[in-house]
Structure 1
Amino acid sequence: MIYDCVIVGGGIAGLQAAIQLGRYRHHVAVIDSGNGRSSVCRSYHNLIGFPDGISGAELRLAGRKQAEQLGVTFIQAEVVQAERLKKAFLLKTSDMKTYHGKKLLIATGVKDRLPNLEMLIPCLGTSVYVCPDCDGYEVRDQPTIVLGAGNAGAQMALTLTHWTEELIYVNHELTPINEELRLKLDQKRIPYIEQAIQTVLIEREQFIGVILADGSSIYRQRCFVAFGGNEVCSSIAKQLGVEVMENNHIVVDPRTKLTSVEDIWAAGDVTAHSEMLTIAMGDGSQAAIWIHKSLLST
């Protein structure tokens, strides 16, 4: 079977595109590995209609049900190989199955580089955050710890001064920071601790602090994580000759979301923009509109 469009990635951008294409009554398949960043966020707070937040898992489930009602097929697998044939794209998954699509939408997103501190995961989106644009408001006037590495953590701490002055930066990986940033931390009176974290303290999935390598403790109920080096999941795009930036984000037309290769679109965090759920939704819808136009013209 050849689908009208195969969407690689079932996160927010991919789901929104699937819903729109389903409403156009196209035959669509979504291939998703199930481990995208939206699957682990416990609460998004900046969406219309959800002032108390909603989890990524809830949004994904609701989106999938909505898309399935429109006839969209979902396949849980990881796409590991892609190539272009004469009339369709061939996608091979890790379980050695193959799928074909006339059009391709890449919505594979970004993976955050998190430290090997598993106790942070249950708190993501509720008391541990990664995006100041999304969740800086959640730490307003609250004592907050920034766990990070080098310049990335220092930049995060400085950014958060818009919401709170009660900040501590712990450079967990002991990565050097440049002198200019160190001076700015001092000017903003942000304590800087260059020490690894031994243990993350949580209570009923609520972050409450950390124990450092020397055994000392820092207690805070809010935490931001900033380690830099997030992985942009654009390997499929590269296999197909799609243009990517130096940081591996896919280059797209800002209006259509079309990539440099005909019949391939990209949407969401895998493209270069502010990494926000609301923008990913818009990206998905916009890509779907132009995929539909393309399908009508063939």
Structure 2
Amino acid sequence: MSTGWHGVFPAVTTQFRDDMSVDIDATQGVQDALVRDGVNGLIVMGTCGENNSLDPEEKRTILKAAVEVVNGRVPVITGVSEFDTRRAVAYAKDAERLGADGLMVLPAMVYVPKPSELIAHFRAVAEACALPIMLYNNPPAYRVNIGADVLQALAGIPNIMAVKESAPDPRRFTDLINAFGDRFDIFAGLDDVALEGLMLGAKGWVSGLTSAFPQESVALVAAADRGDWEEARRIYRWFMPLLHLDAEHDLVQSIKLAEQIMGRGSERVRMPRLPLEGARRAEVVAMVEKAAATRPTGLASHAA
């Protein structure tokens, strides 16, 4: 039941024009640059892709464009983040038709479900398509935990294959592997717990800050894969001030600002988000500029 997914899967940003319409060309440019910089897959329209700020037709247009520009080079996994199960099922069906390689399925937005409701939501999406599914567990953000009881109830559904674990507690990786063995592919989903997750058996890393520093992210996972923990720690320690941004409320604005500073995208975000300003903006700019001046890998960038 393994997905075969492994390595670095950036949660790519959605790019907007000055009038805040979706800029498909720029979004494809971001995606293509990440693939050329060596990432192993793309998560489109997750949190960093501002999924819930997009209209239904925009989501389908963005996914179609991502599949087109990636052209089979790496898996394209799309976020399924909807306000109710009916919409999630409809999007899952369309994502399969449009050529997605997998789904990253979130709990339904706004309403906080009981475990039985969470199970029913995930089961309905899984039964609507044949695509491999990664469940997204992020208790701080979505106020619900995909616990062992929920996973046990879903273990018999063959296309539910992976879990993106974003609980800020590295013990979760060991607990899940102890409980389920290799039934689910576990991915680290919180940037500043990524190396801990990889060390404890995660198959890969769904990353936010990779959008600004992809080569260092790829090098970090490669070092972990070959057991070079000294090199992995060296990169991780350099990266950590930025990785902490992924755990903050304004992570999308911070990551897009980092992208802009690194010449990889625009910081424009859709309301209700607003670009960073004042002391917070100055803080993030200083962090990114320091990281850029002290990059540990020295590799050339493919960003436009």
Q: Quick check: TM above 0.5? A: no
**Which has the larger strand fraction?**
1
**Which has the larger helix fraction?**
2
The structure with more radius of gyration: 1
